[in-house]
Amino acid sequence: MNALALLALVVPAASPDDGSPQPWFTVGPLVSVSRRQEEAAWGMGVESTLNLAMHNNRMGSFRSGALGVFGQGQWMEGDHARLCGGVQGTFLIFGLETGVAYETATAARRATTSLHLAPFLGFVYGSVGVRFSVPLENARDLSGRLPYGREVGLTLTLKKPFSPML
């Protein structure tokens, strides 16, 4: 019985009767804890994914890989927003997000655009990953505020899949 429950977490939403892979959409909460230089930050928000290109292996409806787009919105440390989007690919339970993140300004920091890279382990109902963000510039603004620095973080998502989407 436990093996069937575990299998249900790994196998994506059902395909149509002809066995062809279908696009699927997921949405749900996103929680993160990250570290920049000497400071730690937490964030809460939402993530959505639209997987468009899938590949079935010979096991029928089991999807071995997918390629799509993702979007994230988080409220960080209660004082600024982090928005992120890009391309996401998965193979079995292994995945990788690449994209661009934008963090809004605060009294202490200037708005910052960063490159986003996040390997993750994904399941139908969520994922656990590590994200890396590297700012595209590090100069002070006119008021002397520095941008947010490099980030390494741990992310956790819970997602509700919707399939077929299109």
Distance, in Å, from the CA atom of 20 to the CA atom of 26, rounded to the nearest integer, reads: 19
DSSP label at residue 58 = T
What's the confidence (pLDDT) of residue 165? Answer: 53
- Whichever domain contains 76, its CATH number is 2.40.160
Distance of CA 6 to the CA centre of its chain: 22
In a domain, 151, yes or no: yes
In a domain, 131, yes or no: yes
Tell me which residue of 61, 69, 71 sits closest to 89, measured CA to CA: 69
- pLDDT tens per residue across span 4-60: 333 333 444 444 444 556 788 889 999 999 998 778 889 999 999 998 877 665 454
In a domain, 15, yes or no: no
Domain residues for the domain of 100 are 23-162
**Total count of domains within the chain:** 1
- Reported pTM: 0.80
In a domain, 11, yes or no: no
